[in-house]
Amino acid sequence: MSPFNPNHRDTPAGQITIALYRIAQAIEHVFRERGKVMRLSPTQIQSLLFLKYARPGVRTIGGLANRLGVTYATSSGVANALEDKQLIKRTPLPEDQRVVTLELTPNGERDIEALNNVLDEIELAVAALPEVEQTVFLRATQAIVRRLQRAGYVSVYEMCWGCQFFQKNAHPNDPRGPHHCTFVNAPLAEPNTYLECPDFVPAET
């Protein structure tokens, strides 16, 4: 029973699966079209967005490989291409000089400004739904993502607030940051708590 076969698309689950497939195609389409205008591949767009919004410790070749779901060699190739375009540069991590991080250049930041609205059409389509439908849709899509995450099909990157490893104001006078992450056992500066982290685990409610 394949939902690709219109003859078998007779259950809500099959119809929703195809709808999600079409939404994924629409997202691919907007990334490709924006990439043509900006002379970037969809992978390069995803990489720039990752480097803008991921927490500092994971902005590395390995972190990028995890985010893109590719090998280290492929991730290194993507970083080289972005470096050639002068959109990123390699910089040692201040707290551990052995770790080389990838950082946006001013040109990269300028491209991010132009990329921030790349999903606007999708968001507008969702926002056009009645509020009560958005609430149901949110709950349903979160449940689907959680299941796909458990199965290893997708990584969820979220910010610290709401993470079970986050300790708010654990050491308010620490110049390195008032909050604490028990996962990496390190202080967190306020701005870094609003960045995406691959180690996020939702706090029990």
d(CA 156, CA 139): 16
* Region binding ligand SF4 by CB under 6 A among candidate stretches 9-17, 76-84, 145-153, 193-201: 193-201
Under 8 Å between Cβ of 87 and 108 = yes
**Nearest CA among 142, 166, 146, 162 for reference residue 154:** 146
Under 8 Å between Cβ of 134 and 45 = no
Which is closer to ligand SF4, CB of 84 or CB of 204? 204
Determine, following the binding rule CB under 6 A, whether residue 181 of this chain makes contact with ligand SF4.
yes
For CA atoms 149, 152, 157, 159, the dihedral sign is: positive
> Taking phi first (over 0 means left), then psi (-120 to 50 degrees means alpha), and beta for anything else, what does residue 152 get?
left
CB of 200 to ligand SF4, least distance (A): 4
Determine, following the binding rule CB under 6 A, whether residue 83 of this chain makes contact with ligand SF4.
no
**19-38: contacts with ligand SF4 (CB under 6 A):** none
Binding mask 118-157 for ligand SF4 (x = CB under 6 A): ----------------------------------------
Q: What is the binding site for ligand SF4 (CB under 6 A)?
A: 55, 160, 163, 165-166, 181, 183-184, 197, 199-200
